[in-house]
Structures are given as C-alpha cells and as structure tokens.
Chains A and B, each alone.
Chain A
Amino acid sequence: MANELVKIEKLQVSYKKSGSLAPALESVDLYLEQGQTCTVIGPSGCGKSTLLFILAGLYTDAEVEIRGRVLSPEKRRMALILQDYGLLPWKTVWDNAMLGLKIRGMSNKAKQGILEKVLRDLGIWEFKDRFPAQLSGGQRQRVAIARALALEPELLLMDEPLSSLDALTREALQELLLDICQKTKMSLILVTHNIEEAVLLGRQVLIMSPGPGRILNVLENSSAGNIGYRNQQAYFEQCLKVRKLLERGINDAC
C-alpha cells in the first residue's frame, strides 16, 4: 500500500549474551499506516521495549541477532521518548530540547524560532534555563516531547513515557499527545503497561505475552483518537477486553 509507514514481518530477535543467544521476540508482525496510532501492551519482559528499540534502529549487530523483515522510516524521520532517561541531567531545558537539531546540524535561527514556539505551546518556555532535576516529572516529559517535535518526525516512538507520572499529569499529557497527533498527522507507537492508556491512545492495540515475546492479539480500536472516548461505553468495553486477553496470556505463559 502506498501510505504504509512501518511493516514488520516474522521478526525474531535474540540478545547476544556471552556467546549464547537469549530469545526476546518471536514471529512478530506489525503494520502501521501513516498518521495512525498503535499501542503495545504486555507484562514486563514481553519484549515491548525491544520491539521499539529495533524499530528505532538502536541495537548494533554485537548486541542482537535479528531475523525477519523490518521496514521503518529512516532514523531522521523518527523520534524516541523514554520513561526516565530521555533528558540529559547536565543540559538545561533549552539545550536538551535543542540537542536533536544540533546533532543533525540544523540549529539555525529559523529552527530556534520553531523550538521556542514548541516550548511555549507546551508551557515550558519559562523553564528553559533550568536543569531537568529542577522540573516535575510532567514538565520533564513535556521537554522530551518538545525535543521530539522540534525534529518534525513522521513517527514518534514512546517507551512508557507517562508511567512515572501522577494520574492528573498523565491524563493531561495523554490529551496533549492526542492533540499533537491530530494536528501534525504524525504516527505514534507507544509502549505501555497501562490498559486505559493503551485503549485511549491506540487505534490498534497490540497485546503481547512473554517468554519469548510474541503478539497474542491485535485489537482494532478505531474509535480511539479523541479525548472524549475516555467517557464512552465502548472505551470501557475495550479496556475489559484487553484485560481479559492479557490475563489469558499470562496464565498460558505461567
């Protein structure tokens, strides 16, 4: 299809550990169209983060063995946001947010103007001279989002970006993400262990099980994408469905 952005077929990943191979993912398929959102949910150790890091092209041949087909955008069209270690503690908010542009040699006046606007839109412009340790968890993730947006990516990859935040901050940032995806037509793959978050944000919910990681189910969730969904009956039903699938997956694995 013309507007396919990510295509993974029969992906098999093993970590290379002192001579032997530890399987992490087995026969994983994933298909994502441009402008779509996908969430990945599963218990710890099911390979969610591995899948994301493979997509981002972060592992070297010395670290993993990859079999199967992985088609994802070029590195410069993707941005990755991590849970806790995204921002560098030794850089100010401004320098952290600027880092992507600087590394790509695009830190000119025009881009600085764009970044300033992004920081203002996200409500963190006034903190630009502070260090990450001087911000709240929610403010820190806003900076990470700003850094990603400044690169104008096609695909945003997020690894449990909101897990360490309190409930209200988490909801505010979920709204922010939905809003950004709608406005920019950016695609999103978000890894989470939170059922509500997975159902709220992903028009496609991938349910994974551990040992080695594989995809149990792909739940079509086409009503996702706006914040009102949180209060609809369909949303609660989908959450329930995901919970049941997850529980079954864990029981089978144990």
Chain B
Amino acid sequence: MHVNPSVKSFINYIIAILFLILLWQFISLCMADPALPGSVQAIRAFVTGLDNGISRNLLFSAFRVVISILLSTLLAVPLGLLLGRETHLDRFLGPVVYLIYPIPKIVFLPVVLSLFGLGNWAKIFLISLIIFFQILVTARDAARSVERLYLYSVKSLGASRKDLYRHVILPACLPEIFTSLRTGLGAAIAVLFMTETFASSEGIGFYLMDSWSRLSYNEMYAGVIAMSLLGFVLYIILDWLEKKICPWKFLY
C-alpha cells in the first residue's frame, strides 16, 4: 500500500506518543508513589485544568517566550551578520562578545528582578538576553564563513553592500540561524520556567510550583504536560517556518 510520507511520519509520532504515555503509566504503577501519578490521571488533570487556570497560565508563558524569541532574533541576527562581515566592527565588539558569551546569564535573575520588577518584562528581558547571545554567535560565525565566490559573483552584477546582505549573506546564514533558534528554544523554555517560579502569580512555571506546594501532584503533572506542549508546538512552528523560508534545504 502506498502511504503519503507526511501521513506516515504523523502515524509514527502518534505511536511514539502512545509509547511514552504507556511507559509513564508503567513506571508510575511500579513505583506506587503519590509523587508520580500515572499518565492517565495527569492527562485527566490537564484536561479539567484547561478551564481551571492552565489555559490562562499557558497564554502568559507562551506570550513571554514568543516575545523573547522574536526580540532576541530581531536584534541578534542583524548584529551577528554585521560582526561576521565588518572587520572593523568586530575588532571592537568581538572581545566584548567573547567576554560576555560564557557568563551564565541566569545568575542575573535577582538583578533583573530588582531592576525590572516582578512583571512580564523582567522575564522577557532575561530569556531574550540568554538566547540573544546564542543566536548572535551563530549568526556571526555563519556570516564569516560565507563562500567568498558567491559574494564576488553577486558583486560583479553591481551589487551594493546592502544587496550583498540581502541576496547573499542573510540567506546563506538562515539555516544555521534556524538551528540556533531550535537550541535557543530549549534554553528559552528552561529559563522561562526558572523566572516563573520566582515571585510570580501567572505562567505555567507558577502553576506547577503552586500545585507542588499544595501537594496536588496530578495538577503538577498537568503543568509539566502544558510546559512540554508549549515547547513542542513552538518547535513545530520553527520547523514549518524553516521549510517556508529555506525551501532550498528541503529539495529531496
């Protein structure tokens, strides 16, 4: 029987999900600990929780992480490309980036909370700060290694510097930028969780820790499911965007 490949991969995902749900249920049965309820109870708690706080908290979390990714991408990509191509700029800013990049920015959490307060912006600032550097360094390195002959060939058509960025440098770096966005997404959600557990009253991180403090384990796992779904959906969106924006990477 001939099956459409996208249908086939969809079926494979369903099988994988069922497998994980069963594995979870099995481990929970073996451990018989209230701190690890079965997948069935957790899913039930998630569904009933949707009307009861999860949806609202999920929206808060999604808003924070999406805005952070957009903000850091919009700032890091142009700056990274410039640093990669303009040597005089890199000579000045390169050492600065080199010094700041390895600092674990999460240690600034208390500082950021003090400066920006407990609302959305402190969280957005910290998430953006962390993935900004990941994207910046990737974009810079990708821009540095753009094949020189592509640049010469387009230059010979009379291209200005702006044309070179638009037609050569940016598209050449896009696949690597998407890879950095994918790894950045994981970091963003982890940081989102951290920020939402501190002095927060909204967000899935808050919902999860609140459930934990009330020893409501089913709801706590509903929060875990919500957080995972958020990551999964954003991951799918990134994949879809890459296929739309970089069709030449997916020819066969």
Residues of A within 8 A of B (CB): 53, 56, 58, 75-76, 78-80, 82, 84-86, 88-91, 99-100, 103-104, 131, 133-134, 147, 151, 157
Minimal Cβ-Cβ distance residue in B for A144: B153
Interface pick from B48-56, B63-71, B94-102, B167-175: B167-175
B150: CB under 8 A from chain A? yes
State whether A89 touches B158 (Cβ < 8 A): no
* A101 CB to nearest B CB, Å: 9
B247: CB under 8 A from chain A? yes
Q: Which of B149, B158, B167, B171 contacts A104 (CB 8 A)?
A: B158
What 9 pairs across the A-B complex have the smallest Cβ distances? A85-B149, A80-B156, A100-B157, A90-B171, A131-B248, A86-B153, A90-B248, A103-B159, A58-B152
Q: Restricting to B134-165, which residues have a CB under 8 Å from any CB of A?
A: 147, 149-150, 152-160, 163
Minimal Cβ-Cβ distance residue in B for A59: B152
With A75-B158, A99-B154, A99-B167 in contact, is A131–B147 under 8 Å at CB?
A: no
Q: Given A53-B152, A85-B150, A133-B251, 8 other A-B contacts at CB below 8 A?
A: A56-B152, A85-B147, A88-B168, A89-B248, A90-B174, A99-B167, A103-B160, A133-B248
Q: List 24 A-B contacts (CB under 8 A).
A: A56-B152, A58-B155, A76-B158, A78-B156, A82-B149, A82-B152, A84-B149, A85-B149, A85-B152, A86-B149, A88-B167, A88-B171, A89-B248, A90-B171, A99-B154, A100-B158, A103-B159, A103-B160, A103-B167, A104-B158, A131-B247, A133-B248, A147-B157, A151-B157
B109: CB under 8 A from chain A? no
* A99 to B158 CA separation, bound complex (whole angstroms): 10
* A87 to B172 CA separation, bound complex (whole angstroms): 12
Residues of A within 8 A of B158 (CB): 75-76, 100, 103-104
Q: Restricting to B155-208, which residues have a CB under 8 Å from any CB of A?
A: 155-160, 163, 167-168, 171-172, 174
State whether A88 touches B150 (Cβ < 8 A): yes
State whether A56 touches B156 (Cβ < 8 A): yes
* B143 CB to nearest A CB, Å: 15
State whether B157 touches A99 (Cβ < 8 A): yes
* A88 to B167 CA separation, bound complex (whole angstroms): 8
